[in-house]
């Protein structure tokens, strides 16, 4: 990376002991007693609002009751029947804006049942045992291609394999997992959990992954449609939105997703370079993850700059509070005007913004911050050209994931909707059910 040659961006700002502490598990797992106590707080509501709030519609009261009665493995089976990536979702889901926000305890007391931590307790209990909890149905003789080994593709592949179909996943990178492996903060999924979860998922059988096989010259959609009985596209978003500001190409200016991916794959974080003064442009989860991890690596000053007000930030209040608790400064109503420096970035110029009739406008008033490292986290887009109908910058689909091309389904971040792991899992699972119905007439 050019950033390693940029003055001010250096490795080793913190020693191994402090780095290890900073990147330890964000939420320690519950032990059996703690889980029982936490489960006892559940009212086991009929028509529970937490279930409605869960994109994968897990029967939350049931699995919590199973934990309360000493059956965490049964609870895990309840979870995995709806969400085969329930272990990762327990770690990365914004439960504070989904199931826990809807919890009756939250409304009554301001303290919800700890659904996410209970889900992790259950799934970890089962995944630590030998064997896989599901079995394949009899072979159907049908073959399905899945593009992308991220949450949507993996969920789709697992459900199809369970139905007896043979699945080949084509993954653009050298490892599976998608954003779970490359795109989330390291302290949310420690001990190589993303890789371990994929290995566990593949225990169902009937799934083969071919790595370093992106859609492109040697792998095109028409060939897949010809060679397979169905195709599912779950390749996520490959392009990063451009930042239209002078100095955007200076050394030290990079995409936040690349920084996070490099961090996640680093075997020694003391050797990962980070700036002294870091500015992250954006207001979503990627921006927060990049900002927090820069601070945890030893950056002296980290600023997150967002162009609209705090009420418009895509990142949840919980994530913003986490960022500020780690020392990240959040500036709102500011947008990048220019990056200044002699070859490498040394300062960022920001302009105050205002909204007039819903339209964002600059005020003309600017200021500068020292910045030897600037990360762009302003959204990603789909690299298209697949001959599919589009909904804006994403693939248009029906409710069950069907695209405008026969035999082709899609789901996950490459389709409209919230870019969340749990949403991607639900879309991959539901598309698999529809593919199964189409292939078998069931």
Asked if 57 and 63 count as a contact pair (C-beta separation under 8 A), the reply is: no
Neighbouring CB atoms inside 10 A of 195's CB total: 15
Neighbouring CB atoms inside 10 A of 201's CB total: 23
Beta partners for 166? 143
Mean per-residue pLDDT, 254-258: 95
What is the per-residue pLDDT for 383? 62
Residue 117's Cβ-side half-sphere holds a number of Cα atoms within 13 Å equal to 18
What is the per-residue pLDDT for 4? 45
What's the first-to-final CA gap in the chain, in angstroms? 52
Q: How far apart are CA 381 and CA 403, in angstroms?
A: 18
CA dihedral 174, 190, 411, 146 (to 10 degrees): 30
Backbone dihedral region for residue 217 (phi beyond 0: left; psi -120 to 50: alpha; all else: beta): alpha
Q: Which CATH superfamily is domain 143-238+388-440 in?
A: FAD/NAD(P)-binding domain (3.50.50.60)
Q: How far apart are CA 226 and CA 224, in angstroms?
A: 5
Q: How far apart are CA 442 and CA 440, in angstroms?
A: 5
DSSP character for 28?
Answer: P
pLDDT at 170 over 70: yes
Asked if 412 and 427 count as a contact pair (C-beta separation under 8 A), the reply is: yes
Q: Which range (127-136, 199-208, 367-376) has the least confidence? A: 127-136
Q: Where in the chain is the domain with CATH 1.10.1060.10?
A: 32-127
Asked if 351 and 334 count as a contact pair (C-beta separation under 8 A), the reply is: yes
Q: What separation in angstroms does the CA of 38 have from each of 31, 42, 95, 105, 118?
A: 10, 8, 15, 12, 7
Question: Which of 3.30.499.10, 2.40.50.140, 3.50.50.60, 3.30.1550.10 is the CATH number of 240-376?
Answer: 3.50.50.60
Query: Which residue did the predictor score with more confidence, 130 or 370?
Result: 370
What is the per-residue pLDDT for 1? 43
What is the per-residue pLDDT for 131? 86
Neighbouring CB atoms inside 10 A of 227's CB total: 11
Per-residue tokens: 76: 């895990």
pLDDT at 19 over 90: yes
- Residue 62: name the closest of 54, 53, 48 by CA: 48
Query: Which residue did the predictor score with more confidence, 4 or 141?
Result: 141
Neighbouring CB atoms inside 10 A of 200's CB total: 18
Per-residue tokens: 400: 């069950």
User: pTM of the entire structure?
Assistant: 0.95
pLDDT at 237 over 90: no
- Residue 185: name the closest of 248, 257, 239, 260 by CA: 260
Neighbouring CB atoms inside 10 A of 279's CB total: 28
- Residue 185: name the closest of 112, 250, 94 by CA: 94
Strand, helix or coil at 360? strand
Render pLDDT for 290-315 as a digit per residue (tens, 0 to 9). Answer: 999 999 999 999 999 999 999 999 99
Backbone dihedral region for residue 346 (phi beyond 0: left; psi -120 to 50: alpha; all else: beta): alpha
Q: Where in the chain is the domain with CATH 3.50.50.60?
A: 143-238+388-440, 240-376
What is the per-residue pLDDT for 238? 74
What is the per-residue pLDDT for 384? 64
Q: How far apart are CA 233 and CA 110, in angstroms?
A: 40
What rounded mean pLDDT belongs to the chain?
95
pLDDT at 200 over 80: yes
Question: Who contacts 213 (Cβ-Cβ below 8 Å, separation ≥6)?
Answer: 170, 171, 172, 219
Render pLDDT for 374-404 as a digit per residue (tens, 0 to 9). Answer: 999 998 777 666 889 999 889 999 989 999 9
Distance of CA 210 to the CA centre of its chain: 22
- Residue 208: name the closest of 132, 138, 145 by CA: 145
pLDDT at 3 over 70: no
pLDDT at 339 over 80: yes
What is the per-residue pLDDT for 297? 98
Q: How far apart are CA 80 and CA 261, in angstroms?
A: 27
Q: ∠409-414-420 over CA atoms, to 5°?
A: 110
Question: Which of 1.25.40.10, 3.30.1360.200, 1.10.1060.10, 2.30.30.140 is the CATH number of 32-127?
Answer: 1.10.1060.10
Q: How far apart are CA 442 and CA 426, in angstroms?
A: 20
- Residue 351: name the closest of 372, 331, 337, 371 by CA: 337
What is the per-residue pLDDT for 216? 83
Render pLDDT for 36-55 as a digit per residue (tens, 0 to 9). Answer: 999 999 999 999 999 999 99
What is the per-residue pLDDT for 372? 96
Mean per-residue pLDDT, 243-254: 93
Asked if 41 and 69 count as a contact pair (C-beta separation under 8 A), the reply is: no
């Amino acid at each position: 990376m050019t950033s390693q040659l940029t003055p001010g961006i250096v490795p080793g700002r913190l020693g191994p002991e402090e780095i290890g502490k900073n990147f330890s598990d964000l939420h320690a797992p519950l032990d059996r007693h703690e889980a029982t106590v936490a489960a006892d707080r559940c009212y086991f509501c009929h028509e529970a609002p937490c279930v409605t709030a869960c994109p994968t519609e897990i029967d939350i009261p049931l699995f919590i009751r199973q934990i309360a009665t000493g059956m965490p493995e049964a609870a895990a089976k309840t979870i995995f029947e709806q969400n085969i990536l329930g272990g990762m979702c327990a770690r990365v889901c914004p439960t504070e804006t989904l199931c826990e926000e809807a919890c009756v305890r939250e409304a009554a007391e301001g303290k919800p049942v700890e659904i996410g931590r209970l889900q992790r307790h259950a799934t970890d209990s089962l995944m630590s045992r030998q064997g896989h909890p599901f079995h394949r149905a009899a072979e159907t003789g049908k073959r399905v291609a899945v593009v992308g080994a991220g949450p949507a593709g993996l969920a789709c592949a697992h459900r199809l394999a369970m139905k007896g179909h043979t699945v080949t996943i084509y993954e653009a990178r050298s490892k599976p997992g998608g954003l779970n492996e490359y795109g989330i903060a390291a302290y949310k999924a420690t001990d190589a959990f993303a890789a371990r979860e994929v290995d566990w998922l593949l225990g169902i059988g009937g799934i083969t992954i071919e790595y370093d096989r992106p859609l492109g010259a040697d792998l095109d959609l028409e060939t897949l449609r010809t060679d397979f009985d169905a195709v599912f596209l779950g390749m996520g978003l490959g392009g990063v939105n451009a930042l239209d500001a002078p100095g955007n190409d200076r050394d030290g200016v990079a995409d936040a997703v690349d920084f996070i991916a490099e961090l996640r794959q680093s075997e020694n974080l003391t050797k990962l370079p980070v700036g002294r003064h870091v500015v992250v442009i954006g207001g979503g989860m990627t921006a927060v993850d990049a900002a927090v991890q820069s601070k945890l690596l030893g950056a002296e000053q980290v600023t997150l700059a967002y162009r609209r007000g705090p009420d418009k930030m895509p990142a949840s209040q919980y994530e913003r509070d986490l960022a500020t608790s780690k020392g990240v400064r959040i500036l709102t109503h500011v947008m990048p005007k220019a990056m200044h420096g002699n070859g490498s970035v040394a300062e960022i110029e920001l302009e105050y913004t205002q909204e007039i009739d819903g339209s964002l406008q600059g005020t003309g008033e600017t200021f500068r911050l020292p910045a030897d490292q600037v990360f762009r986290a302003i959204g990603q887009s789909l690299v298209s050209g697949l001959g599919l109908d589009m909904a804006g910058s994403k693939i248009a689909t029906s409710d069950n994931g069907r695209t405008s091309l026969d035999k082709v389904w899609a789901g996950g971040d490459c389709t409209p909707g919230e870019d969340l792991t749990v949403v991607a899992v639900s879309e991959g699972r539901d598309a698999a059910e529809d593919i199964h119905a189409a292939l078998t007439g069931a």
